[in-house]
Amino acid sequence: MFILDTLRAIKYNAKLPQTAKEAKKRDAVHVNDLFDIDERLALDVVCSWLLKAQSDNKLNDNGYARHFSFVNGWASSYPETTGYIIPTLIEASHQLQRPDLNDSALKALDWLVAIQFDDGSFQGGRIDSTPVVPVTFNTGQILLGLAAGLSEYGDRYSVATHKAAQWLCDSLDDDGCWRKFPTPFAANGEKAYETHVAWGLMEAAKSTGNTTYLEYALKNVDWALTKQQANGWFVDCCLEDPTNPLTHTIGYVLRGVVEAYLHSKDDKYYQAALITAKPLTSLLIKDSFLPGRLNKDWQGTVDWSCLTGSVQIASCLLLLNDVSPNPEFVKAALQAITFVRKTIKIEEDKAYSGGVQGSYPVQGGYGRYQQLNWAAKFYIDAQLLALEIK
């Protein structure tokens, strides 16, 4: 079996285009030997990569391409992540004094409003994916963008925000779980990480003043906490392998719990967030290379890192540090951010310049040979938070 797998790998690698082979070769260097770049330069180039993802996406609309592939080039737009990229670019436009980021966010907002279903929901997958059906998770992520648009630009996004928020409230089950509109692009089953959907409702409550949205959001977080184990690990917290969840989806569930505390000030959410944050902190302090999947004992089960998960977790640690200063949280977060920043390549006139890969090394199991728009988004979020503590 080992020989057969090796032969398959050799055959696959032989068919890779030169751009993918070069990306793999670049990542053959240990991350400790990679050149670090200035934090503000990194922010600028990653933001500019997102603008390329919007201008160069496969269908030439105003969403952000799901990814840039070292094999196939730019993909089509991804409504879900376009939604939560919007608040990132709004914040970055202020912090970096770049009005072009603000202009990009407005284009994306208007595109999302145009593709919203009449009932307030949004489709799953890329804009050209099938089946075209309403999906809870994607609607919640887009709601983050709509709520940010309402707060930043005013009532032009009020109707879309209310419609999406109300649809999420109406589709929540009595026990606090969303089951009615699952994505057809992930495994079936309950998803603890949909606390990240609840966060969308929290932001809608803040931008609209409708506290009912917050009540429904917290109901979901309460349900998700029934999935939290004594050591902080969550059951049912992955796209397809809940026994070995991605750090990406662990980052999702943790952020939802952190935001539940920030929006409600209920200490039970803060304490729950700490239970999950502490083992992740220990892992990152021990080694900034955080394995992309972690089992129920917080042990890595793969030999690649999910870069988006690392910076998502870093953001959560920095937000918790804002609540109550914790030097270990800061150390772990900065190590994770530095690790990801070192993987960013800057090469003028290259489509991949400024992108953030799904995995390190690039042939790893999450977003293989791809730079992901949400990896860029979560890097920007974390790096902006890190600048505030220096």
Q: What domains can be seen in the chain, in order of their start residue?
A: 22-388 (1.50.10.10)
- Phi, psi angle pair for 77, to nearest 5°: -70, 150
Helices (H) and strands (E) in the chain, counts: 14, 5
Spatial separation of the C-alpha atoms in residues 254 and 311, rounded to whole Å:
12
**pLDDT tens, N- to C-terminus, the chain (390 residues):** 445 444 455 556 678 999 999 999 999 987 778 889 999 999 999 999 999 999 999 999 999 999 999 999 999 999 999 999 999 999 999 999 999 999 999 999 999 999 999 999 999 999 999 999 999 999 999 999 999 999 999 999 999 999 999 999 999 999 999 999 999 999 999 999 999 999 999 999 999 999 999 999 999 999 999 999 999 999 999 999 999 999 999 999 999 999 999 999 999 999 999 999 999 999 999 999 999 999 999 999 999 999 999 999 999 999 999 999 999 999 999 999 999 999 999 998 899 999 999 999 999 999 999 999 999 999 999 999 999 986
pTM metric for this prediction: 0.96
Spatial separation of the C-alpha atoms in residues 293 and 301, rounded to whole Å:
6
Please report the pLDDT score of residue 360 as a whole number.
97
DSSP state for residue 36 in the 8-state scheme:
P
β-strand pairing of 67-69 with 73-74: antiparallel
Please report the pLDDT score of residue 35 as a whole number.
87
CB-facing half-sphere around the CA of 81: CA atoms within 13 A: 21
DSSP state for residue 69 in the 8-state scheme:
E
Please report the pLDDT score of residue 5 as a whole number.
44
